[in-house]
Amino acid sequence: MTRLSVPHGQLCVWTDVDAEHEADFNAWYDREHMQERVAIPGFTHARRFRATDGGPRKYLALYVTDTLDVFRGDAYRRAFAQQTAWSLANFERMTGTQRRVGELTIEAGDGEGAQLALFVLPAQRIDVRRLRERFDAALREPGIHAARLFCTVPELSAPIGADACARADADALVLIEGSDAAATRRVAAALAGHDDVRTFGLLWRAAPSPPAACRDAQATPDAAALPA
């Protein structure tokens, strides 16, 4: 199925870190940073991936929001401006970072995949109608579950990290997700028309914690449902 309502927003951080700092970098991401970001109003979930192809950047993080406007809102601006000491230390350790903020212009398929393949699509090659058709065909391939077009908004894509790449262009990422690593890469390469495709495996997924009242309701059995 394809999402037809207002597009989701997304933040994509694609980066690397030196081996001497990698353990602390992963601990920070897994114990602080992901949880902080999904707690911001408007964030729906976040996922972390690790490269499986020995590419130039080992780690990828994707944060999805209700709409692009979440990244223009006060709550996100405060979080971006008020980083923890642990965050600042790890931002400085990131190398070759590409940070993109934009819209998920196309979200086709059902669910998410543990295997991800992506490629960069230059602005002049972004043809939404044609890509919808090609995504529909791709989703008929065994082992392919989702196809997304993520269009970058340059003015929101401020670089981070001591060795960050320049502000992103008005390009796009095509993201193909599936349960079969080889099929995911093959389909992405066919869509790209070249072999400059990067592949990743899912590390984990974070989502906002439910309100305390909801947690209490889930934990307390309905009296009517208890055996007599």
150 lies in some domain: yes
Q: What is the pLDDT of residue 228?
A: 42
Q: Tell me which residue of 59, 160, 45, 144 sits closest to 104, measured CA to CA.
A: 45
Q: What is the pLDDT of residue 216?
A: 54
Q: What is the pLDDT of residue 36?
A: 97
Q: What is the pLDDT of residue 209?
A: 84
210 lies in some domain: no
58 lies in some domain: yes
Cα–Cα distances (Å) from 221 to 211, 216, 218, 228, in that order, read 17, 10, 7, 13
Cross-strand pairs, 146: 109, 177
Tokens, residue 175:
């993201």
Tokens, residue 219:
């934990």
Tokens, residue 105:
């212009």
223 lies in some domain: no
28 lies in some domain: yes
Q: What is the pLDDT of residue 217?
A: 54
Q: Tell me which residue of 68, 9, 11, 67 sits closest to 37, measured CA to CA.
A: 11
CA distance linking residue 219 with residue 17, whole number of Å: 40
Averages of pLDDT over each 10 residues, the chain, 228 residues: 78 97 98 98 98 96 98 96 96 95 98 98 98 98 99 93 75 98 99 98 94 56 48
39 lies in some domain: yes
H, E, C per residue of 60-100: EEEEEECCHHHHHCHHHHHHHHCCCHHHHHHHHHEEEEEEE
**How many domains does the chain divide into?**
1
Cα–Cα distances (Å) from 228 to 134, 208, 217, in that order, read 57, 36, 21
- Show the domain range for 194: 9-203
Q: Are strands 144-152 and 172-178 parallel, antiparallel or unpaired?
A: antiparallel
Tokens, residue 3:
């999402």
CATH of the domain at 69: 3.30.70.100
